[in-house]
Amino acid sequence: MMPIVECGAKFSTPLLFDDAIEIVTTAAQITASTLRVEHRVLRGDTEVATGFEVRIHVARSADGALKSAPIPEDLRAHLLGSDAEMAFIDHDEAQIVQT
């Protein structure tokens, strides 16, 4: 489980509901238990917004509380690999394209 503990966004140009957009997400920073991902929102070649989220990998302790836990090695390896950037295209037909 990786809940969001911090997030933010900056919008430079308005979008309309039917606008076709591309969201490019990149793993920007990885620590033992946290992951920061950054997002770029594009309409064609124009960047219309940027954003980020910080997630922390957690596990339940014996008493049921959530505690920070190391990111599993297989996930860490995937995030650090060359395929860590993903593009999400079109809000009606979301597709994941690994680049």
Where along the chain do its domains lie? 4-98
* Separation between Cα atoms, residue 96 and residue 89, nearest integer Å: 7
Distance of alpha carbon 10 from alpha carbon 27, whole angstroms: 18
Asked whether the beta carbons of 69 and 56 are under 8 A apart, the reply is no
The chain-wide mean pLDDT, for the chain, equals 84
The two tokens of residue 92 are: 């009606």
CATH number of the structural domain 4-98 = 3.10.129.10
CB-CB contact of 87 with 77 (8 Å)? no
In this structure, the strands spanning 22-30 and 58-60 are unpaired
Given this model, what pLDDT does residue 91 score?
40
Run of H or E residues at 26: strand 22-30
Kindly tell me if the per-residue pLDDT of 80 is higher than 90. no
pTM score? 0.74
* 17-22: average pLDDT: 92
pLDDT tens-digit readout, 40-63: 999 999 999 999 999 999 999 999
Given a cut of 80, whether residue 15 has pLDDT beyond it is yes
